[in-house]
């Protein structure tokens, strides 16, 4: 779709809302819903919530209605919203940079146990998602979160969502720079600012000094990537316009060097371009990647410099190449001689009780009172452990269902929320991912090549199927019954060979490469056995 007239770009004078979402945002800012939850909805309960708030503005505070239990995926499109949702909410706690104190993690764990049936999911954007939350409990939950410096502001909605950062920021022995201060300053200045609470769509940020590029700058809307500048000063390379979903695109380098103290201003400039020039007619066409696709990085840079910063930015270098498989798992030496213990979850799923115990573990063994970080691979890192205690911490994590010594398959498997709670889902994901992982561990115990297996419940790609070695995308398949009739069954479209890094490429979708959900482990085994048979030397799966 071409840019220009009729795409609802504010800066071109098109302020009239072109769809119901835009109208809702114009009529009442999403940030205003918090007070209504406190003043009204906690007392009226679910039935008293205005539909525009319930399915729209609640997102500005991380609240989505939860999928009703037992609704199969194939029926999603034909059900009314009220048939598809139950009376509980998913609540997303934003954890910018994945940075948590043990006290904060303990509070999240306690909230999950008390108000959320003890379910807690670590997302691949470093948030924690709670489920089974009642609107009556939301103000109390906010009070508990805010008492320890956490919140859910703009955790969802057409807003600047959580900003990703490397979990080892500030302690890593090999980082280009500590991006934590720039990230925190940007969050503090702009999250919750009404100037950015009505964007055309969601806006995802990464600010990181990690040499592994573990926050996946290639697929964020805006990324600041640690580099050494022209004179050797650390700063950032700026990338804009990445995103997956149904039209995956890699971010483009603008070719500029951003000093640490300029990050906030440049972030605000890029976000303002999105707000002012972003396409608002169709939500499927509203992410900043579509604007970048039409403008190209040269024009984007020029508009940023001329209209928003008022000065030019110097040219800067590209970041060095990084691996496609990125995480921080195992016992990792910190720059200060202490050890970080990084562990996987089971496809993101954990519990409030486990989070509380990890908080206690971090407080007991960590030298700085306990610091924990979430990762973009649905894992956790416990910081500041004396080297002599690191194995003990790893053992204790193992007992809580997190592994600092995972198999290749455990290390590389992630899954989105899926049909258990997500209204858009077509298939179940977390349990299926765990089945695939467990079967591969049994069938291929000696498999030794780093691998990512990303299981998604629908084409929205919250678990990044296009960038996985083996990406599973949930679909519905018609299956013939004995009597000749057809029924819907959960299945996956398979994408193979996706990767990030210097050889970045989206996984290939082979025509007809669909497997029923129950056959997924067999399929993955066949693919991997074929790879083992034909690979040359240390060839990676994607190549
Ligand atoms: Fe829901 Fe689809 Fe995202 Fe999975 S990929 S969490 S099913 S929207």
Q: If you measure from the C-alpha of residue 421 to the centroid of ligand 1, how many angstroms do you get, rounded to a whole number?
A: 9
Q: Pocket of ligand 1, candidates 422, 423, 461: which has the most ligand atoms within 8 Å of its Cβ, to mutate?
A: 422
On the question of pLDDT at 70 being above 90, the answer is no
Q: If you measure from the C-alpha of residue 363 to the centroid of ligand 1, how many angstroms do you get, rounded to a whole number?
A: 34
Q: pLDDT confidence of 537, banded at 50, 70, 90?
A: confident
Question: What percentage of residues in the chain have a pLDDT greater than 90?
Answer: 87
Q: If you measure from the C-alpha of residue 228 to the centroid of ligand 1, how many angstroms do you get, rounded to a whole number?
A: 37
User: Which of left, alpha, beta for 261 (phi over 0: left; psi -120 to 50: alpha)?
Assistant: alpha
CA distances (Å), origin 255, targets 230, 314, 358? 12, 8, 41
On the question of pLDDT at 4 being above 80, the answer is no
Query: Quick one: which of 441, 437, 439, 431 has its CA closest to 490?
Result: 431
Q: Pocket of ligand 1, candidates 458, 474, 476: which has the most ligand atoms within 8 Å of its Cβ, to mutate?
A: 458
Farthest CA pair distance, the chain: 74
First and final CA of the chain: distance in angstroms?
33
The DSSP letter of residue 506 is P
164 near 214, Cβ under 8 Å? no
pLDDT recorded at residue 61: 98
Q: What is the mean pLDDT of residues 345-353?
A: 98
Atom index in ligand 1 nearest the CA of residue 425 equals 7
Q: Pocket of ligand 1, candidates 66, 416, 428: which has the most ligand atoms within 8 Å of its Cβ, to mutate?
A: 416
pLDDT recorded at residue 497: 94
Distance CA 284, CA 1 (A): 11
Query: How many Cβ atoms are within 10 Å of 451's Cβ, its own excluded?
Result: 22
On the question of pLDDT at 2 being above 60, the answer is no
Distance CA 141, CA 145 (A): 6
| Ligand 1 environment, Cβ below 6 A | 416-418, 422, 424-425, 456-458, 460-462
Q: What is the mean pLDDT of residues 338-364?
A: 98
Q: If you measure from the C-alpha of residue 428 to the centroid of ligand 1, how many angstroms do you get, rounded to a whole number?
A: 10
Residues 308-334 have pLDDT tens digits of 999 999 999 999 988 888 999 999 999
Q: If you measure from the C-alpha of residue 424 to the centroid of ligand 1, how many angstroms do you get, rounded to a whole number?
A: 6
pLDDT recorded at residue 488: 85
Distance CA 478, CA 277 (A): 42
Q: If you measure from the C-alpha of residue 423 to the centroid of ligand 1, how many angstroms do you get, rounded to a whole number?
A: 8
Q: If you measure from the C-alpha of residue 94 to the centroid of ligand 1, how many angstroms do you get, rounded to a whole number?
A: 18
Atom index in ligand 1 nearest the CA of residue 422 equals 1
Q: If you measure from the C-alpha of residue 474 to the centroid of ligand 1, how many angstroms do you get, rounded to a whole number?
A: 9
CA distances (Å), origin 123, targets 353, 375, 423? 17, 8, 17
Q: Pocket of ligand 1, candidates 74, 121, 456: which has the most ligand atoms within 8 Å of its Cβ, to mutate?
A: 456
On the question of pLDDT at 3 being above 70, the answer is no
Residues 154-179 have pLDDT tens digits of 999 999 999 999 999 999 999 999 99
Minimal-distance CA residue to ligand 1 atom 2: 458
Q: pLDDT confidence of 513, banded at 50, 70, 90?
A: confident
Q: pLDDT confidence of 536, banded at 50, 70, 90?
A: confident
Residues 392-441 have pLDDT tens digits of 999 999 999 999 999 999 999 999 999 999 999 999 999 999 999 999 99
Residues 117-134 have pLDDT tens digits of 999 999 999 999 999 999
Strand partners, 333: 339
Q: What angle do CA 258, 211, 329 make, to 5 degrees?
A: 140
pLDDT recorded at residue 75: 62
ipTM, 2 dp? 0.99
Q: Counting beta carbons within 10 angstroms of the beta carbon of residue 364, is it exposed (0 to 12), middle (13 to 18) or buried (19 or more)?
A: middle
463 near 453, Cβ under 8 Å? no
On the question of pLDDT at 271 being above 90, the answer is yes
CA distances (Å), origin 489, targets 57, 417, 478, 481, 519? 34, 19, 6, 11, 12
Q: pLDDT confidence of 88, banded at 50, 70, 90?
A: very high
pLDDT recorded at residue 539: 74
The answer to which of 59-63, 70-74, 410-414, 428-432 has the lowest mean pLDDT is: 70-74
Strand partners, 234: 228
pLDDT recorded at residue 1: 47
Taking the alpha carbons of 19, 20, 22, 27 in that order, is the dihedral positive or negative? Answer: positive
Q: If you measure from the C-alpha of residue 178 to the centroid of ligand 1, how many angstroms do you get, rounded to a whole number?
A: 32
pLDDT recorded at residue 481: 83
Atom index in ligand 1 nearest the CA of residue 474 equals 7
pLDDT recorded at residue 279: 97
Query: Average pLDDT, whole number, for the chain?
Result: 94
Q: SS3 string of 386-437?
A: CHHHHHHHHHHHHHCCCECCCCHHHHHEEECCHHHCCCCCCCCCHHHHHHHH
């Amino acid at each position: 779709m071409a840019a220009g007239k009729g795409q609802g770009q504010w800066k071109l004078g098109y302020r009239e809302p072109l769809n119901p979402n835009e109208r809702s945002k114009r009529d009442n800012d999403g940030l205003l819903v918090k007070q209504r939850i406190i003043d009204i909805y906690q007392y009226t309960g679910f039935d008293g919530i205005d539909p525009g708030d319930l399915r729209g503005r609640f997102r500005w505070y991380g609240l989505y209605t939860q999928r009703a239990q037992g609704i199969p995926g194939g029926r999603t499109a034909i059900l009314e919203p009220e048939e598809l949702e139950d009376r509980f909410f998913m609540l997303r706690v934003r954890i910018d940079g994945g940075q948590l104190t043990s006290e904060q993690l303990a509070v999240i764990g306690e909230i999950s146990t008390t108000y959320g049936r003890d379910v807690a999911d670590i997302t691949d954007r470093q948030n924690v998602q709670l489920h089974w939350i009642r609107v009556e409990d939301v103000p109390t939950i906010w009070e508990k979160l805010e008492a320890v410096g956490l919140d859910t502001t703009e955790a969802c909605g057409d807003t600047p969502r959580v900003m990703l950062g490397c979990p080892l920021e500030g302690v890593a022995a090999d980082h280009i720079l500590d991006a934590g201060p720039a990230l925190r300053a940007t969050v503090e200045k702009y999250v919750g600012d009404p100037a950015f609470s009505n964007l055309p769509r969601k806006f995802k940020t990464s600010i990181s000094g990690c040499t592994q590029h573990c926050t996946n700058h290639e697929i964020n809307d805006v990324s600041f990537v640690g580099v050494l500048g022209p004179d050797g000063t650390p700063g950032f390379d700026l990338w804009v316009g990445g995103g997956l979903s149904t039209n995956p695109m890699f971010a483009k380098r603008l070719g500029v060097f951003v000093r640490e103290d300029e990050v906030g201003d440049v972030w605000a400039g890029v976000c303002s371009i999105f707000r002012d020039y972003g396409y608002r007619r169709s939500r499927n066409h509203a992410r900043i990647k579509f604007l970048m696709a039409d403008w190209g990085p040269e024009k984007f840079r020029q508009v940023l410099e001329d209209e928003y910063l008022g000065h030019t930015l110097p040219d800067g270098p590209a970041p060095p190449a990084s691996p496609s498989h990125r995480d921080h798992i195992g016992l990792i030496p910190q720059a200060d001689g202490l050890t970080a213990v990084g562990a996987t979850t089971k496809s993101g799923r954990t519990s409030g009780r486990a989070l509380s115990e990890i908080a206690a573990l971090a407080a007991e063994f960590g030298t700085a009172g306990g610091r924990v970080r979430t990762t973009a691979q649905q894992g956790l890192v416990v910081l500041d452990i004396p080297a002599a205690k690191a194995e003990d911490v790893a053992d204790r994590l193992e007992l809580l269902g997190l592994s600092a010594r995972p198999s290749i398959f455990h290390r590389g498997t992630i899954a989105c929320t899926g049909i258990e709670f997500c209204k858009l889902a077509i298939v179940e994901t977390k349990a299926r991912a765990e089945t695939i992982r467990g079967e591969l561990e049994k069938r291929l115990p000696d498999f030794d090549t780093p691998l990512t297996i990303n299981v998604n419940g629908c084409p929205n790609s919250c678990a990044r199927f296009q960038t996985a070695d083996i990406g599973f995308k949930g679909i519905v398949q018609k299956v013939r019954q004995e009597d000749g009739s057809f029924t819907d069954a959960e299945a996956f479209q398979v994408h193979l060979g996706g990767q990030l890094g210097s050889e970045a490429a989206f996984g290939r979708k082979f025509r007809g490469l669909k497997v029923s959900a129950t056959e997924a482990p067999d399929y993955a085994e066949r693919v991997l056995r074929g790879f083992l048979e034909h690979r040359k030397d240390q060839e990676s799966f994607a190549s």
